[in-house]
Amino acid sequence: MTLDHRLIDLLVCPVCKGPLEMRRDAESRPTDLVCPADRLAFPIRDGIPVMLESEAGPLDGPAAAA
């Protein structure tokens, strides 16, 4: 299942209401939506973004801050 990019453009971070960036794996499949301001990654499961703060994971490494 693929994500509709129009949907992604409408989604915002549920914590700060800021913009999200899509992160992809080595095969260009979407893995999560990242909020750089809060340094949180919201997972994408079966093509559906899970936009719950309790499901978000922290970003690791200096590249995530950019």
Q: Please state the pTM of the whole predicted model.
A: 0.81
CATH number, position 34: 2.20.25.10
Which residues constitute the domain of residue 12?
5-65
Terminal-residue alpha carbon distance, the chain: 29
Q: How many domains does the chain have?
A: 1
Q: Residue 31's pLDDT is what?
A: 92
Q: Residue 8's pLDDT is what?
A: 79
pLDDT tens readout for residues 52-65? 999 999 987 555 44
**23 within 8 A of 42, measured Cβ to Cβ:** no
Tell me the C-alpha distance between 48 and 25, whole Å.
Answer: 16
